[in-house]
A and B are shown apart, each in its own frame.
Chain A
Amino acid sequence: MRRLLTASIPLFFFLAALSAHPVLASGDPARQAEARALEKRLYDHPYWRTLLHYQTGFRGLRSRVDDPGFFLSENGATDPRAELLAFIRALYAPLDPENEKAHAACRFPARLRFVVEELGLDPSQLPMPECRFFREMLDRLDPVSASIVFPAAYMNSPASLFGHTLLTIRTRQGTELTSQAVNYAAVTTDTFGPSYAVKGIFGLYRGYFSMQPYYVKIQEYSDVSRRDIWQYTLNLSPEEIGRMFAHLYEMEGIWSDYFFFDENCSHALLFLLDAARPGLGLADQAGLWVIPVDTLRLALENGLAEDRQFRPSKATRMQRMADRLSGPGLGLALSAARGAEEPGAVLASGLPDREKGLALDLSAETLQFLLTSRKLTEEAYRKQYLSVLKARSTLAAAGQEAEAPAPPPAPPEDGHRSALLAFGGQSVDGEAHATLRFLPAYHGLVDDARGFAPGAQIFFGDFLARMSLEDNNWEMERMAFIDILSIAPRDALFSPVSWAARLGFERRVMDDGTDDLVGFLTAGRGWAWEVGPLGTAYGFAMGDSEFFGRVEQDFALGPAVQAGLLSRITDRFTIHAFSRYTHFVLGDYHDRLETSVDAQVHLSRNHAVQAEAHLVRSRGFWTPEYSLAWNLYF
């Protein structure tokens, strides 16, 4: 249950209480405050570090914020002490009544509160501005609760492979839909993929905080991108949310270089949570990589979340509607949406009224999808949408049972951890090896799918080394920078695109029968279908390439096809089998057939045993490999 908090303490009331403080001894009050701050070593205080986003990294202590406008001291980005002293001096600077917003006390309300509280400053000695603008904003926000929101992974956008995190602040008047969503994102007008990816990875975009109504985010994630959303109510009091907002206000319009892998949407939110509750220190607990689900786990492990709600995406709800319709009902719903039948045909049908209503509801939702996936013009959509809804309005209201929720899937935090270490053995062409595999992120097809998008494999940095038991020499077997396989089944409602992209190096057989480390790049699109109890079958058309090593002319390029089957036999046992054939027609002319049967037994959440039979025929050689490994997710 959402905890309703009735008491809201406006942030600035504390100043009134402080006015009872003893007036400081004579002398320049600014100098005295500075001296006290130095004596207390306030610049080392963890909360000062939180507010200025200081962290110790490769380059020593440094703020994660790059915008010079965030600092008052020239050296503020690297010197917490100089920044604190500069702030204290600025507090005592005379006030320009025309532009009080610009005064340090109004510009940085969270820093003000911290310094005044910690130093016991006497507000009557400060040229204390009213800061009306900030106070009005806080009054308008009138927070009652805050949540951390996790839209699940969306495979058809690389920026969303790992899901996303944002915060919502629920206001006193309104519902969940009208909560304010606080989002940290890179601002860009780029629409060209490669430059977007390069800039995103190497920090060439600027990240900003923004605030939008939650319903806008729901339209984007749930309605258009078909992402289920998980919401976790945080046990922050309205007073703590006020603290968080005071810091958020300091961050408005302030940029930091945006890095897809670490200084990203998830990492930035940790500073907001730290600002809400002094002493939390989440940002310092975060690792080198910040994956959204890890942020979520961090918040949960620190006891911040109170409850969990599942908000099924529009697509998930449509699937459930379709499941409840009879065959003819589903057929009519889709015909009405595709314009093959008038909505009147549904009304005139012999279906029971309840089912007519459900069919028209599904037609309306389907029309929205046809519009947002650009399969219908806006013009045509408006006409059809309205005529479906007019027909719908003549039937009885949908009862509560129409919205009856099916049991939600396993939540993301229940999934296995994001990194993998595997120890095992391998027989290659009859020769025994010990193997060691390290995968920093994130999830494989045969891994336990609890908490993950089914049919989505995302490997970043898959590293496999092996040691021959005959000569005890280690060698690198594979280093895949990227290995992504998205298998999205098509059905009556949706026809998503499956896709694959792999880039890396692995040991492959050469013309003379010895092996060499060879680069590979493979990509393509595919089609997938559920095949009853067997699981999901798929086919891909791809482009494949080999380069470097002893590849003749340094490259080989050609078309490839891949077919496979992914079966989740039980909750604890998954099999993936595939075969891929490439005909390299350019450069080093040869062909290659790779077949694999890969199976995993999920022992517990973070332990599994994986076995693979892998057979390659290339350049006239057969290479059979059999592996067995113990997987540890951490």
Chain B
Amino acid sequence: MKKTAIVTTVFVAALMLATAGFAGQNNYGCGLGSMVFENNDSVVSQTLAATTNGTFASQLFGITSGTSNCEKPESFVYNEKVKVFVADNMDNLAADMARGSGEYLDTLATLMDVPQADRASLYNTLQANFSSIYTSDQVSSTDVLRNMDSVL
């Protein structure tokens, strides 16, 4: 009996030690700072939070993680793919825009169908007008799209 109790205790303790730091939920939103948090890697690496919307149709028909929590973007000149991408990548896109280069900016230009030759000037315009695009720390992806539209 005693041995069984010790084995159980030891095994549970070992597992607790080996798995310390499992917690967290994905927290996608649509403004700045709505990103994945540390310590929920357990939820993402071999596991998937039950709340994550990973159905194929929702991916292919453009209702992704970010936009599902957001106010619906008004109809702009921008296509659905641009809206979804901006909503899902607000922070990394902001950094690229402020520095005038980067992978997120390149993807934005690709989704907007901007030819390679025109990209340098697009990036310059976006960088120069960064403060009028990301206007405040409460800015939403819809605001960013609208402000981009008025700058360009």
A binds B: yes
A interface residues, Cβ below 8 angstroms from B: 133, 137, 140-141, 151, 154, 156-160, 164, 173-178, 180, 183, 185-194, 196-198, 200, 205, 208, 210-213, 215-217, 219-221, 223-225, 248-249, 252-253, 258, 260, 264-265, 357, 361, 364-365, 368, 371-374, 378, 381-383, 385-386, 389-390, 392-393, 396-400, 402-403, 482, 484, 499, 501, 503, 519, 521, 523, 545, 547-548, 554-555
Closest CB in chain B relative to A622 CB, distance in Å:
28
**Which of B45, B130, B138 lies at the interface centre, i.e. has the most chain A CB atoms within 10 A of its CB?**
B45
Complex contacts, B47 vs chain A, CB 8 Å: 159, 185-188, 196, 200, 205
A389 to B96, CA, bound (A): 9
**Partner pick for A194 among B12, B34, B59, CB 8 A cutoff:** B12
B interface residues, Cβ below 8 angstroms from A: 2-3, 6, 10, 12-24, 31-39, 41-52, 54-57, 59-61, 64-65, 81, 85, 88-89, 91-92, 94-95, 97-104, 106-107, 110-111, 123-124, 127-128, 130-131, 134, 136-138
A173 to B110, CA, bound (A): 8
Check B41 against A224 for contact (C-beta < 8 Å). Answer: yes
Closest to A484 in B: B18
Complex contacts, A194 vs chain B, CB 8 Å: 12, 15-16, 19
Q: A252-B56, A382-B138 are in contact. Are A547 and B10 (CB under 8 A)?
A: yes
Q: A368-B91, A397-B100 are in contact. Are A212 and B65 (CB under 8 A)?
A: yes
Check B41 against A264 for contact (C-beta < 8 Å). Answer: no
Q: A197-B18, A220-B41 are in contact. Are A215 and B88 (CB under 8 A)?
A: yes
A331 to B130, CA, bound (A): 26
**Partner pick for B6 among A133, A140, A547, CB 8 A cutoff:** A547
Closest CB in chain B relative to A187 CB, distance in Å:
5
> Can you report 27 A-B residue pairs in the complex whose CB atoms are below 8 A from each other?
A157-B22, A158-B42, A160-B41, A177-B85, A185-B44, A186-B46, A187-B48, A188-B47, A191-B23, A191-B43, A197-B15, A205-B47, A210-B48, A211-B55, A213-B64, A216-B65, A220-B45, A224-B41, A372-B37, A372-B38, A378-B34, A382-B31, A385-B94, A386-B94, A386-B137, A389-B130, A523-B17
Check B88 against A196 for contact (C-beta < 8 Å). Answer: no
Interface of B is mostly: helix
Closest CB in chain B relative to A549 CB, distance in Å:
11
Check B36 against A372 for contact (C-beta < 8 Å). Answer: yes
A345 to B38, CA, bound (A): 30
**Partner pick for B24 among A141, A158, A191, A364, CB 8 A cutoff:** A191
A479 to B127, CA, bound (A): 60
Complex contacts, A215 vs chain B, CB 8 Å: 85, 88-89, 92, 107
A200 to B47, CA, bound (A): 9
